[in-house]
Amino acid sequence: MGRFTYGLELLLWTEFVRKENMPLLKKAKDLGFDGVELFLNEPEAFPVEETKRALKETEMKASFAVCLDKDTNTISPDPNVRKAGVSLFKKCIDTAYAVGGPGCGIGGVNYAGWGYFTGTSRTDQEWEWGTSCYREAARYAKDKGINLNIEPVNRFETFFINCAADAVQFCKDVGEPNVKVHLDTYHMMREEKDLYKAITGTGKYLGYFHACENERGVPGTGLVPWEAVYKALKDMDYKGWITIESFTPDIKSVARLTAIWRKHAPSADVLAGDGLKNIRAVEKKVFGS
C-alpha cells in the first residue's frame, strides 16, 4: 500500500450495493484502486457477509457513505424526522462496523437532508438540531471505533454546510474526537476561493478526501488545480483515503440530485481508470518517486 489509499465510489457503476454487485470490487482492483466507497442508505438490504468475503478475496479496503434525505433530515423542525435521521445513521454505523470493523469511516451529506432547502440561510436553531443529532450518532460510532466525516457540498445541494471552514466549526461544536471533515474538490471548486488554503486550513480535522474534476469528469482533465491540491495534502502530511467519485446519467436517482445530464467520459471504466492514472501522476510529481 502506498502513501494514500485510492478508492472508487461504486455509485459510478451501481445505485445500491447488492450481492450480485460483488464482481465490481475486483473490477475496481483491476483498474488500480486500493479500495471502494460503499453507499449505505439501505442498511437492512446491505449484503454484509458477501461484501466482507469479496473484500477479503480481493484484498481491498472499504470506506462508506451515508446521505440523509427529507425523511431523515436531522435539521428538520419535525422532531420525529430528526429522530428518524439519527436512527438511520446508527443502523448505517452498525453495518459499516459489521463490514469494516473499527477504524473505518463514513462520509457524505450525513448531517442534513441532501437536497433539502428552506429558501433561506441556515438558522442557529438548525445548527443546534444538526450538531445535537450528530453528537448522538458520533458517540454511538465512537464506541465502535468508527469516524464520521462531514462533507461540505455546493449551494445547489444544501444550504447548511458548503465550505471547509463551516465543516470544521461543525466538528468543533459537535465536540467528539471521531468527527472529521470530508473534503471534495468538485464542491470546493464552487465554494472555496483557494483550494490550497481551504485544505490546509482544515488541519487536524481532515479525515477523508474526494478527488473529483470540476464537472465530475475524468480527474486531471479539467479545471481543478491538482498540483496545489497535492501540495496541500503533502504539507498537511495527510495519509488517508483519496477517492474518485463521479456519476453517470444511468443512475437516475443520483443523477437527478447531482445534475448529471450527460456523459463525462466514454464509459465509467474510462473515467475511473484514466482519472486514477492522472492523479497518481500528480502525486508522483509533487511527492517524488
Structural domain range at position 188:
5-287
Contact (CB, 8 A) for 269 and 217: no
Neighbours of 170 (CB within 10 A): 21
pLDDT of residue 256: 77
Beta bridge partners of 242: 6, 209
What's the whole-model pTM score?
0.96
| Number of domains observed in the structure of the chain | 1
Distance CA 241, CA 182 (A): 10
pLDDT tens track, the chain, 289 positions: 689 999 999 999 988 899 999 999 999 999 999 999 999 989 999 999 999 999 999 999 999 999 999 999 999 999 999 999 999 999 999 999 999 999 999 999 999 999 999 999 999 999 999 999 999 999 999 999 999 999 999 999 999 999 999 999 999 999 999 999 999 999 999 999 999 999 999 999 999 999 999 999 999 999 999 999 999 999 999 999 999 998 777 777 777 778 888 888 888 899 999 999 999 999 999 999 7
Q: For the chain, what is the total number of helices (H) and then of strands (E)? A: 10, 8
Nine cell digits for residue 225: 488545480
- The CATH number of the domain where 241 resides is what? 3.20.20.150
Can you tell me whether residue 259 is helix, strand or coil? coil
pLDDT of residue 1: 60
